[in-house]
Amino acid sequence: MLEYNSWSTRLKALRCKLFGKTDFERWTDASEFEDWEERTKIIARLVPPGARVIEFGAGMGKLQRHLDPSCQYTPSDLVSRGPGTIVLDLNQRPLPDLTAHAFDLAIFAGVLEYVHDLHSFIEWLRQQSPACIASYGCAAHPRHSLARLPETLRRAGAGWTNTFTETELICLFADAGYGLAHAVDWHTAEGDERIFHFRDND
Ligand SMILES: C[S@@+](CC[C@H](N)C(=O)[O-])C[C@H]1O[C@@H](n2cnc3c(N)ncnc32)[C@H](O)[C@@H]1O
Atom of ligand 1 nearest to the CA of 89: 20
With a Cβ cut-off of 6 Å, ligand 1 is lined by 22, 27, 36, 40, 57-59, 62, 77-78, 88-91, 109-111, 114
Give the burial class of 12: count Cβ atoms within 10 A of its Cβ; 0-12 exposed, 13-18 middle, 19 or more buried. Answer: buried
In the reported structure, the alpha carbon of residue 177 is separated from the centroid of ligand 1 by a whole-number distance in angstroms of 24
Q: How far is CA 14 from CA 20, 25, 194, 199, in A?
A: 10, 15, 24, 32
pLDDT at 115: 98
Q: Domain segments of the chain: what residues?
A: 24-137+163-200
Atom of ligand 1 nearest to the CA of 55: 6
Q: Which of 17, 19, 27 to mutate to test the pocket of ligand 1 (most atoms within 8 A of CB)?
A: 27
Q: Which amino acid is at 179?
A: G
The pLDDT tens digits along the chain (202 residues) read 789 999 999 999 999 999 999 999 999 988 778 889 999 999 999 999 999 999 999 999 999 999 999 999 999 999 999 999 999 999 999 999 999 999 999 999 999 999 999 999 999 999 999 999 999 999 999 999 999 999 999 999 999 999 999 999 999 999 999 999 999 999 999 899 999 999 998 7
Q: How far is CA 179 from CA 37, 38, 196, 202, in A?
A: 27, 25, 10, 10
144: left (phi over 0), alpha (psi -120 to 50) or beta: left
Pairing of β 86-87 and β 105-108: unpaired
In the reported structure, the alpha carbon of residue 22 is separated from the centroid of ligand 1 by a whole-number distance in angstroms of 11
In the CATH scheme, what architecture does the domain 24-137+163-200 have?
A: 3-Layer(aba) Sandwich (3.40)
For residue 198, list its beta bridge partners: 132, 180
Q: How far is CA 51 from CA 44, 67, 147, 200, in A?
A: 11, 9, 41, 15
Atom of ligand 1 nearest to the CA of 39: 8
In the reported structure, the alpha carbon of residue 140 is separated from the centroid of ligand 1 by a whole-number distance in angstroms of 23
